[in-house]
A and B are shown apart, each in its own frame.
Chain A
């Protein structure tokens, strides 16, 4: 075999070695992420709440001898103390309202920041970015006082309105809109479109990747809200599922079996929501809008 042939095989071997390390790394990371979810699902199929507790910390946490859906049935039918359907409905209502209003408000703000003739635009943008670093928890007490004084305690409005406008999502939209060709905006203004019409008819349909990204991030954030709803809701009227699951953790006893089943049920809608939008993450057909 010639030297040339030998030397040409060497990089392939290195590449294979690299691929093996890469595959193992991906596998380990996937295992770390998936195993708690798998454990949760397995635990939800166990009938005995004390057994669940005993299995934790051993490999038995990943195995169920006699799988049963009793926990799910109990959670679903638990109409007295825990009206699961009601909480699920509340969460879905809050999710739908927050995300749809959030898409409108944040995209409008991002659009005006990107293309509007707004005095002090750079300053406003800097303030918006600066606002992002303020943790939600630090403003939660003043917010609680404002919402209570406004008479919005224990309402859906109190759980939707404060989270509709977000510096992060406004900035995401701003960045997306700003990278679209300026000529699209100009062509629309020459065609006679108002700034609202340009936003709605031209820029929004081109923003599916940004809309999907914001929907997913905002959806997950809204669905997982815990501290704010626990402070603002006093009754079942507007209480979301995340807070409801906490009721399984009583002072005297913890219903691990039902808590696990409820957690699995809580994950399903947000998983469906994610799957519905994630394909738009990748796709973008803006590239072909301009140039030949």
Chain B
């Protein structure tokens, strides 16, 4: 195992810059998720760590070694690809043992390591099968098995669950997390799915347009988003954001509704953020008109309109509401987020 240090790393394709001087330090044994929308540069950064893309500027260190010019095979990393990239003509055992075979390990040693990895991933009954004879989840496990037999210093995952259906994704998410807890290998995991990022990572790196927007523990990012992008990207349903201006009597929205502000709130706020679960039904709150009600059993999502703005509230209790009803919504003042003109948290 080893730490990974990304120091002022940039990437150019010709004159087009896709990564703008990124700094991230990943501790030994840490599970870090790179998350962001398509085209934010997260996969490019991962591929630069893997050695599959050249580094235009800056340094990447694995352990104490700068690996900028080290070929992928000498970086002591293992990568799991989105489309698995299993060798279709090789059996599961051959796929898993290929890297060890190339290292010149003995057949007995390869067999032992493959069996060990297969036992961890419950792949023992499938060792003689070809990838085409396996389901999507099994193939993904083989891809992980191929990575773990090598006992690398760093695991790299490039959107490994994107090709799986929703149910399997949840199952595999737990398996990967469990695997990390058992092996303790430093892991860098790329995803566009913020739920995956939140549930699996020790720390999340939120990226946009080749720039790091925020780095932090999942709940830090959820509770204290650094800017509007992180505020909307992390959390589902997304945070309610209301435009307006902070005054003495509260936050006056563009539609003229006055929202309560926490004591000592910074002046100059132009965006008022409140997460859906931090709105509660209260007749003393501001008035809103119910548009849609979505009961899911455990909770009820209410879409309501207030001063020309649509807000989402997630209510834990079961409520009898109908479209067109007038309700009072009260924000939890301790959970109000205020953002300035530049979109940064105040």
- Contact residue among B50, B83, B88, B140 (Cβ-Cβ distance under 8 Å from A285): B88
Is the beta-carbon distance between B87 and A292 smaller than 8 angstroms?
A: no
Q: Mark B79-117, 1 if CB is under 8 A from A, else 0.
A: 101111111110000000011001100000000000000
List A256-292 residues whose CB lies under 8 Å from chain B.
Answer: 285-286, 288-292
Is the beta-carbon distance between B102 and A292 smaller than 8 angstroms?
A: no
Residue B38 CB within 8 A of the other chain: no
**Cα distance A155–B162 in the bound complex, in angstroms:** 59
Q: With A190-B78, A285-B132, A288-B88 as given contacts, are A197 and B83 in contact (CB-CB < 8 Å)?
A: no
Is the beta-carbon distance between B99 and A191 smaller than 8 angstroms?
A: yes
**Cα distance A197–B83 in the bound complex, in angstroms:** 22
- Contact residue among B77, B103, B137, B163 (Cβ-Cβ distance under 8 Å from A291): B163
Q: Mark A157-188, 1 if CB is under 8 A from B, else 0.
A: 00000000000000000000000010110111
A184 closest partner in B (C-beta): B85
Is the beta-carbon distance between A187 and B85 smaller than 8 angstroms?
A: yes
The size bracket of the interface on A is 20 to 34
Q: Is the interface of A mostly helix, strand, loop or mixed?
A: helix
Q: B164 to nearest A CB, angstroms?
A: 7
Set of chain B residues within 8 Å of A292, measured between Cβ atoms: 84, 135-137, 139-140, 163-164
List B66-86 residues whose CB lies under 8 Å from chain A.
Answer: 71-73, 77-79, 81-86
Is the beta-carbon distance between A187 and B81 smaller than 8 angstroms?
A: yes
Q: B105 to nearest A CB, angstroms?
A: 11
Is the beta-carbon distance between A186 and B86 smaller than 8 angstroms?
A: no
A290 closest partner in B (C-beta): B83
Is the beta-carbon distance between B102 and A191 smaller than 8 angstroms?
A: yes
**Cα distance A30–B136 in the bound complex, in angstroms:** 45
Is the beta-carbon distance between A192 and B81 smaller than 8 angstroms?
A: no
Is the beta-carbon distance between B132 and A288 smaller than 8 angstroms?
A: yes
Residue B52 CB within 8 A of the other chain: yes
B78 closest partner in A (C-beta): A190
Set of chain A residues within 8 Å of B102, measured between Cβ atoms: 191-193, 197
Set of chain A residues within 8 Å of B89, measured between Cβ atoms: 205-206, 285
Is the beta-carbon distance between A191 and B132 smaller than 8 angstroms?
A: no
A208 closest partner in B (C-beta): B89
Residue A202 CB within 8 A of the other chain: yes
Residue A189 CB within 8 A of the other chain: yes
**Cα distance A286–B98 in the bound complex, in angstroms:** 18
Residue B131 CB within 8 A of the other chain: yes
- Contact residue among B88, B98, B132 (Cβ-Cβ distance under 8 Å from A206): B88
**Cα distance A201–B50 in the bound complex, in angstroms:** 22
Q: Mark A182-218, 1 if CB is under 8 A from B, else 0.
A: 0110111111110001000110011000000000000
Q: With A181-B83, A183-B81, A292-B163 as given contacts, are A189 and B73 in contact (CB-CB < 8 Å)?
A: yes
**Cα distance A285–B82 in the bound complex, in angstroms:** 20
List B181-215 residues whose CB lies under 8 Å from chain A.
Answer: none
- Contact residue among A186, A190, A202, A291 (Cβ-Cβ distance under 8 Å from B87): A202
Set of chain A residues within 8 Å of B132, measured between Cβ atoms: 285, 288-289
A180 closest partner in B (C-beta): B88
Q: With A191-B99, A285-B132 as given contacts, are A183 and B87 in contact (CB-CB < 8 Å)?
A: no
Q: A227 to nearest B CB, angstroms?
A: 40
Is the beta-carbon distance between A190 and B88 smaller than 8 angstroms?
A: no
**Cα distance A188–B136 in the bound complex, in angstroms:** 21
**Cα distance A262–B43 in the bound complex, in angstroms:** 63
A193 closest partner in B (C-beta): B102
**Cα distance A60–B207 in the bound complex, in angstroms:** 82
Set of chain A residues within 8 Å of B81, measured between Cβ atoms: 183, 186-187
Q: A246 to nearest B CB, angstroms?
A: 45
**Cα distance A289–B78 in the bound complex, in angstroms:** 19
- Contact residue among A183, A192, A201, A206 (Cβ-Cβ distance under 8 Å from B85): A183
Interface residues of B (CB under 8 A from A): 50-52, 71-73, 77-79, 81-89, 98-99, 102-103, 130-132, 135-137, 139-140, 146, 163-164
Top-3 shortest CB links A-B:
A292-B136, A288-B132, A289-B88
